[in-house]
């Protein structure tokens, strides 16, 4: 497996080889060693150093007896529209902060790839996630620990397997929850954390195929808060990522030029 992370146009070229394999670890020193997955014989993933403007080539060999996936946070991959977020020309956070009112409250400006949902400040939200596929999906929100208030089969909905009862003190809270095959999960949260947040399947291959949505939470409140640090904007500019306009970097509802969205294959 070869993973090529092209950071920027040439300058220094750094080539790194990773061998992903099994290692024996005993982290707490008391329970005996057990098998874990590491890189180059160590549980500690080696740090990667690259200079600004350089090119990083990361060769990954999979020595495991199963397939695996490598997932980069915050690095744009050359020749693809993949990053650790929906594939947009302008990251949704920047659109939220920089579009004129009331455009930033309109889901359409973020582009269809984001599956944006705009939430009003302090609203109580109930979201039902259905899974009619043949695989379970571990769903992970970035902003809240959702309350799980119900789940059941989507085939036979006579009586939910689990339903939050007011006799309990509180529903369980989770920051990742599995939606079983042919089941749905109903979750509840309060939009009290202004921001732009992902909710996505934590199987990276599903995430990369687009199994994610973006919560644009209380954008009016978010815009009154401290601005994005200039260093973050510089980081985007250095990678050629635009920081103004709608999801396509245009004005209003003009989404011309958006990259082709990933597709989920059956």
Where on the chain is the footprint of Cu ion (CB under 5 A)? 137, 201, 203, 206
- Residue closer to Cu ion by CB (options 96, 113) is 113
Residue number, 43 or 135, with CB nearest to Cu ion: 135
Give the nearest distance from C-beta 113 to Cu ion in angstroms.
17
Output the smallest distance, CB 211 to Cu ion, in A.
Answer: 5
**Cα 100 to the center of its chain, rounded Å:** 26
Strands 177-179 and 183-190: unpaired
Strand-strand pairing, 195-201 and 173-174: unpaired
Q: How far apart are CA 230 and CA 212, in angstroms?
A: 28
Identify the DSSP state of 192.
-
Q: How far is the CB of 250 from Cu ion (least distance, A)?
A: 32
Nearer to Cu ion, 7 or 187 (CB): 187
Name the DSSP class of 42: B
Shortest Å, Cβ 259 to Cu ion = 22
Strand extents, DSSP E, 121-161: 124-131, 137-141, 146-153
Nearer to Cu ion, 50 or 179 (CB): 179
Residue 127 tokens read as: 């979201």
**Rounded CA gap, 36 and 52, in Å?**
33
Alpha-carbon distance of 70 to 49, in angstroms, equals 17
Phi, psi dihedral angles at 216 (to 5 degrees): -95, 95
Between 204 and 244, CB nearer to Cu ion: 204
Smallest distance from Cu ion to CB 206, Å = 3
89/131 with CB nearer Cu ion: 131
* 51 vs 69, beta carbon nearer Cu ion: 69
Tell me how many helices (H) and strands (E) the chain has. 4, 14
| Helix intervals (H) in 102-178 | none
Find the helix or strand (DSSP H, E) in which 212 lies.
strand 212-217
Min CB(1)–Cu ion separation in Å: 20
CB of 214 to Cu ion, least distance (A): 17
Order of all β-strands in the sheet with 13-25: 2-5, 55-62, 13-25, 34-39
Whole-angstrom distance, CA of residue 52 vs CA of residue 7:
9
């Amino acid at each position: 497996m070869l993973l090529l992370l092209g950071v920027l146009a040439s300058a220094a070229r750094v080539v790194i080889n990773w061998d992903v394999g099994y290692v024996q670890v005993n982290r707490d020193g008391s329970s005996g060693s057990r098998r874990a997955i590491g890189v180059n014989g160590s549980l500690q993933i080696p740090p990667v150093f690259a200079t600004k403007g350089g090119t990083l080539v990361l060769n990954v060999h999979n020595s495991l007896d199963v397939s695996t996936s490598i997932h980069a946070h915050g690095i744009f991959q050359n020749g693809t529209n993949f990053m650790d977020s929906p594939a947009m020309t302008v990251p949704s956070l920047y659109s939220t902060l920089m579009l004129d009112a009331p455009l930033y409250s309109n889901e359409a400006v973020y582009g269809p790839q984001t599956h944006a949902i705009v939430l009003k400040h302090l609203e109580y939200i109930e979201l039902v996630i259905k899974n009619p596929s043949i695989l379970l999906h571990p769903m992970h929100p970035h902003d809240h620990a959702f309350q799980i208030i119900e789940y059941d089969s989507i085939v036979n909905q006579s009586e939910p397997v689990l339903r939050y009862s007011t006799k309990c003190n509180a529903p369980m809270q989770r920051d990742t929850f599995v939606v079983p095959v042919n089941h749905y999960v109903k979750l509840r949260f309060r939009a009290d954390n202004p921001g732009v947040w992902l909710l996505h399947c934590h199987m990276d291959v599903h995430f990369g195929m687009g199994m994610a949505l973006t919560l644009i939470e209380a954008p009016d409140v978010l815009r009154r808060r401290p601005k994005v640090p200039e260093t973050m904007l510089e980081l985007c500019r250095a990678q050629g990522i635009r920081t103004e306009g709608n999801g396509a970097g245009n004005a209003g509802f003009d989404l011309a030029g958006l990259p082709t969205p990933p597709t989920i294959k059956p």
